Amino acid sequence: MGKRVGMEVAIAAAEAAALCKFDVASVYPITPQSHVAEHLADIVNDGRVDASFITVESEHSALSSAMGASATGARVVTATSSQGLLYMGEVMPITSSMRLPIVMLIANRAISGPINIWNDHSDIMPMRDTGWISFFAENGQEVVDMTIQAFRVGEDRRVMLPVNVNMDGFQLPHMVEPIFFPDQEEVDRFLPEYVPYATLHPDRPVSMGTLGMPEIYAEAQKAKDVAVVNSIKVVKEVWKEWEKLFGRKYEPIQSYRTRDADVALVTMGSMGETAEIAVDALRKQGVKAGLLKIKLWRPFPFAELKKAVKGIRVLAVTDRACSFGGPGGPVCSEIRSALYEESVRPAIVNYLIGLGGRDVQAEDFMEMVRRAAKGKLSEPYEFYGVRG
């Protein structure tokens, strides 16, 4: 069994990729992802993993060269954040359409306007519909575990999709946390060698990325949707196996003290741990609070959500990005639509919190629960604690 070490999470993420013995890393530096990039380079240049590190000139080229390498049959890792992820935006849906199981480590950061390097989810949300599988880690341990799981899920012949592992910028990558690392042998057993379906090689020439006319484009989109939807089975299967091997449980939606909960918070990412503290404090005060933590953002776990909200009167959904002029935050609009056809469903309120690194403390979550108890806010969604 592996060992427990104190390590900066960005470095730990790169170490997790190293345990997966990637063949190619293609990364462009950006705050707060840079330590991931730097440590991947250290690993390659120290010869700890036999791989090529491409020092690309932009994020667009990072994902493009990652695609080229992946198309030859290599196991490829990349990493980015914020503007970098948006810059990759053109290439994101092509990666999933070509079914290239690249793993991307994302240190989530607010997108510009005004420029801001701190954490929220406004970078990954515009990428929601690009056909990638999206994991959301809550702490350093989950970053490491999910990175290894991401290769296994993405490369599964039933899936063959790229996977991004989201870690809240600064809150996770820049923290030193105690982390259990599995042994190399354990990872080797869990993650078999990647066997690509088709590769760019003259021994068996193929054409990749061909032109799809209207007669075939829609079918291609449907095929991708079916693949993403069906991948949830493999994600759950892999997470079960992980639990059996390493004792750490992963679920698409993780419930915390919701069995008899009246009001439940919903979080995604690192704020889950702060929200847990708030729930515990509220429980001490006699408030029946609970918490749902979303770990799998795409494919969205509809069935698991429906099960998890049973008996809950009010859901206080927190979002860390805004859909301007839309229905509120993207997480909330997803949950509302997921529960629309349920005959018994909770009332839903939506708080937009932690934008651009704005601190959210346990007391804030407690206040959100107290106010949500009414089942309604004065506005369809509220920028919690925001002036103006």
Partner 1 sequence: MNTAMNHPKSIIENFDLYAPKLVSKEEFFSPGHRACQGCGEALAIRLMCKALGKDTVITNATGCMEVISSLYPTTAWTLPWIHVAFPNAAAVGSGVEAGLTALRRKGKIADRRVKSVAIGGDGGTMDIGFQALSGAMERGHDMLYVCFDNEAYMNTGIQRSSGTPFLASTSTAPAGKKIPGNQVWKKNMAEIMVAHNLPYVATASPSYPLDFMKKVKKARRIKGPSYIHCLVTCPTGWRSASETCIKLGRLSLETGIFPLYEVEDGKYRLTVEVPEKRRPVQDYVKGQGRFRHLTPDQIQVIQERVDIEWETLMIKVNCSKSREELRAVREK
Q: Where do contacts with partner 1 occur on this chain (CB under 8 A)?
A: 23-24, 26, 50-52, 54-58, 60-61, 64-74, 76, 90-91, 94, 98, 199-203, 205-213, 216
Gap between the terminal Cα atoms of the chain: 53
Q: Per-residue b/e over 343-368, b at no fewer than 16 CB within 10 Å?
A: eebbebbbbbbbbbbbebebebbbeb
Considering the complex, state which of residue 209 and residue 380 has its C-beta at the smaller distance from partner 1: 209
- Farthest-apart Cα atoms in the chain, separation: 69
Question: Rg of the chain's alpha carbons, rounded to an integer?
Answer: 21
- What is the nearest approach in angstroms of partner 1 to the Cβ of residue 313? 48
- What is the nearest approach in angstroms of partner 1 to the Cβ of residue 204? 8
Tokens at 372, concatenated = 């949500």
Tokens at 321, concatenated = 């990005």
| 375 Rama sector, left if φ>0, alpha if ψ -120 to 50, beta otherwise | left
Whether residue 104 contacts residue 44, with contact meaning beta carbons closer than 8 Å, is answered with: no
- What is the nearest approach in angstroms of partner 1 to the Cβ of residue 97? 10
- What is the nearest approach in angstroms of partner 1 to the Cβ of residue 244? 30
Considering the complex, state which of residue 62 and residue 348 has its C-beta at the smaller distance from partner 1: 62
- What is the nearest approach in angstroms of partner 1 to the Cβ of residue 25? 9
Considering the complex, state which of residue 90 and residue 225 has its C-beta at the smaller distance from partner 1: 90
Considering the complex, state which of residue 57 and residue 379 has its C-beta at the smaller distance from partner 1: 57
Whether residue 177 contacts residue 141, with contact meaning beta carbons closer than 8 Å, is answered with: yes
Residue 334's nearest CA partner among 284, 296, 287 is: 296
Q: Give the 3-state secondary structure of residue 292.
A: strand
- What is the nearest approach in angstroms of partner 1 to the Cβ of residue 363? 47
Tokens at 174, concatenated = 């820049």
- What is the nearest approach in angstroms of partner 1 to the Cβ of residue 209? 4
Considering the complex, state which of residue 56 and residue 317 has its C-beta at the smaller distance from partner 1: 56
**374 φ, ψ to 5°?**
-65, -20
Q: Give the 3-state secondary structure of residue 143.
A: helix
Considering the complex, state which of residue 175 and residue 200 has its C-beta at the smaller distance from partner 1: 200
Considering the complex, state which of residue 60 and residue 313 has its C-beta at the smaller distance from partner 1: 60
